[in-house]
Chains A and B, each alone.
Chain A
Amino acid sequence: MKIGRLPAEAPIIRTAVPAWMRIRDVAMTFGAWLLIGYFLREGLYLAYDYFRTPIFELTTATAPDWGEMWGRLRGFVLLAATLVAWITFWALDSRARLQATHSPQPLPLLDSTHAASMGLHETQLAGWRLAKVQTVDINLARRVTMRQEGRIGNGGAG
């Protein structure tokens, strides 16, 4: 194994799409951000007013009724806090399992069991596992039959 090497380059596909498509996508997304900005305009203005000079006080914006807002949000915030506590508990509970580096391993599936579940005999299974190329039939009940070693040259198999 090679250790300490650089990660392989991500095989990202960037097809050369027409310039008008790129301009359209960027323009539309700017538009989407403007729309979001418009929806958030009151909150944004409030923040702007609070952080501009004189800092930490409102000069022109009017503060919303925080008490009324908290009253409406309290239930959701408490529910979110409960779920945060819940997942934190499970994170602590699963800590040992998630940080383990070794654990006793379960026994592997026996070939005879696997073969029987597919309606085969173990020797058939062993034979199939030697074939480099093979053509098989498998039905909806997962019963498998081997047609032949190699590929049957029909439309179905190319």
Chain B
Amino acid sequence: MRDLFYSMVPGFVFGYPFVMAWYWMTGGLLHRIVRGWHEPRPGEPPVLESYPPVSILVPCHNEGANVREVFAALDAVDYPHFEMIGINDGSRDDTGAILDELAAKYERLRVVHLATNRGKALALDAGAIAARHEILVAIDGDSLLDRDAVTWFVRRFLSDGTLGALTGNPRIRNRSSLLGRLQVGEYSAIVGLIKRAQTLFGCVFTVSGVVCAFRKRALHDGGWWSPATLTDDVDMTWRIQIAGWTIAYEPKALCWILMPEKLGGLWRQRLRWSEGGTQTVLRLAPQMLHRRHWRLWLVWVNYLLSVLWSYAMLAGLLAWCLKWTPLGPLVHYPAFSPVTQGWGALLTVTYLLQASVSLMLDRRFEQQIMRVIFWQAWYPLFFWVLQALTAVIGVPRAILRLTRPSTGTWVSPDRGVR
């Protein structure tokens, strides 16, 4: 029994990321072949058969430093019929005053002020009430939407009536520090590949809340954005799919985003993602108890495996550390040396291959992106441990949070070095 345990744990810690890396790579490449091969280039959207009107929602909380730039980019969106709705979620800075000033400047901008800070989910709900059109695009209050993103979103909705939501392609703007450059590769190698593979499979774990699009009807069927969760985007994604709609990735719908460039900011962000993701999969599990949701179950199981992997890997590292202390003989768990050898080296090579494949796919959006491969050395050495730590801490916090209702309010995140 002990021997079996001692062979299964290292096998799982190696096998899970190794096997999934090949799955994501194949999914990414197949998505390019099946979906992207005959597609127009990202900067050259074709003429659509119709241009249904679109409402763009921008929830803002203390975004005084960013909103002018955000709405200037939105006003330059190349789409014939759209409105912009700025939602000021009880900001304590000058966001409200700037939005009013911008409303006078941009004819198609309307502003909804929330009397008190309610959080992103309720801000989006309020924005959706004010929105006049069926198709909603949502971006964050510090993100710049590409001028063709709306056209790409609408084109995809017109091509598939079963689509309830689309997730766009967030591209990182701030690349001044090591952490910023590292995340450029991560968004491509991990986020982009996973979303491509999940689109082929027909079930997506999450839309990127920073750039996504919805049919109002799908939002209504999913129960609108809920303040009871930390990650409104994961929660909404699952509820829309449970309601019977599909969700897909539209890589040509670009949005330029700001990411944390300090370790503390990155830690808080990843912890929130981990906690929110776990909260959603635990909360919604009972609603998935129907065989028509079998695809969701597989995505759910994969998420649980990733959390289990985090625990198994960190426990092995801890066991290795304890081996050098008087507590060593008391530890009955396989120890994993941080000095990667053998299987660990193979995992590193596999990750670097995965990063190369994804960056190659993303060269259509940024010609110079292959350069960031240099910074990817940190991913297997450091980022895996950071991700695993946030998963390990996020799970118990999410379980505790199930008994405590969320207030839904938010704090301004780290937005990098500017």
Contact = CB atoms under 8 A, between A and B. Distances in A.
B237 to A, nearest CB: 18
A106 interface: yes
Which one of B34, B216, B366 has the greatest number of beta carbons of chain A within 10 Å?
Answer: B34
Contact of B22 (A80, A114, A132): A80
B151 A39 contact: no
A144 B118 CA distance: 12
Interface in A72-96: 75-76, 79-80, 83-84, 86-88, 90-92, 94-95
Interface stretch (B153-161, B269-277, B313-321): B153-161
B330 interface: no
A127 to B, nearest CB: 11
B111 A99 contact: no
A158 B95 contact: yes
B217 A91 contact: no
Interface size class of B (residues with CB under 8 A): 35 or more
Contact of B113 (A2, A90, A101, A136): A136
Interface in B137-160: 144, 146-147, 151, 157-160
Nearest to A100: B159
Given A3-B47, A118-B129, A140-B227, A29 B110 contact: no
A88 to B, nearest CB: 6
A30 to B, nearest CB: 9
A109 to B, nearest CB: 4
A13 B90 contact: no
A19 interface: no
Interface string B164-193: 000000010111111001000000000000
A15 B181 CA distance: 13
A157 B103 contact: no
Interface string B321-361: 00000000000000000011100110011000000000000
A153 to B, nearest CB: 9
B200 interface: yes
Contact of A114 (B176, B216, B378): B216
A114 B110 contact: no
B243 interface: no
B100 A151 contact: yes
A109 B215 CA distance: 8
Nearest to A2: B78
Nearest to B417: A15
A103 B154 CA distance: 12
Interface residues of A, number: 80
A6 B96 CA distance: 35
Interface stretch (B11-19, B283-291, B304-312, B390-398): B11-19
Nearest to B375: A29
A105 B162 CA distance: 8
B381 interface: yes
Contacts of A80: 18-19, 22-23
B15 A83 contact: no
B90 A157 contact: yes
Contact of A158 (B22, B91, B160, B200): B91
Which one of A13, A14, A107, A134 has the greatest number of beta carbons of chain B within 10 Å?
Answer: A13
Interface of A: 1-8, 10-15, 17, 21, 25, 28-29, 32-33, 35-36, 39-40, 43, 75-76, 79-80, 83-84, 86-88, 90-92, 94-95, 97-109, 113-114, 117-118, 120, 125, 128-129, 131-138, 140, 142, 144, 147, 151-152, 154-158
Interface of B: 11, 14-15, 18-20, 22-23, 26-27, 30-31, 33-35, 38, 42-47, 49, 64, 73, 78, 80, 88, 90-100, 103, 110-118, 122, 125-126, 128-132, 134, 144, 146-147, 151, 157-162, 171, 173-178, 181, 197, 199-202, 215-217, 219-220, 224, 227, 248, 256, 258, 339-341, 344-345, 348-349, 366, 374-375, 377-378, 380-381, 405, 408, 416-418
24 contacts: A3-B46, A15-B418, A17-B177, A21-B177, A25-B178, A29-B375, A33-B374, A36-B348, A40-B345, A75-B15, A94-B199, A98-B35, A101-B158, A101-B159, A107-B217, A109-B134, A109-B216, A113-B220, A114-B128, A134-B112, A137-B116, A140-B405, A151-B113, A157-B115
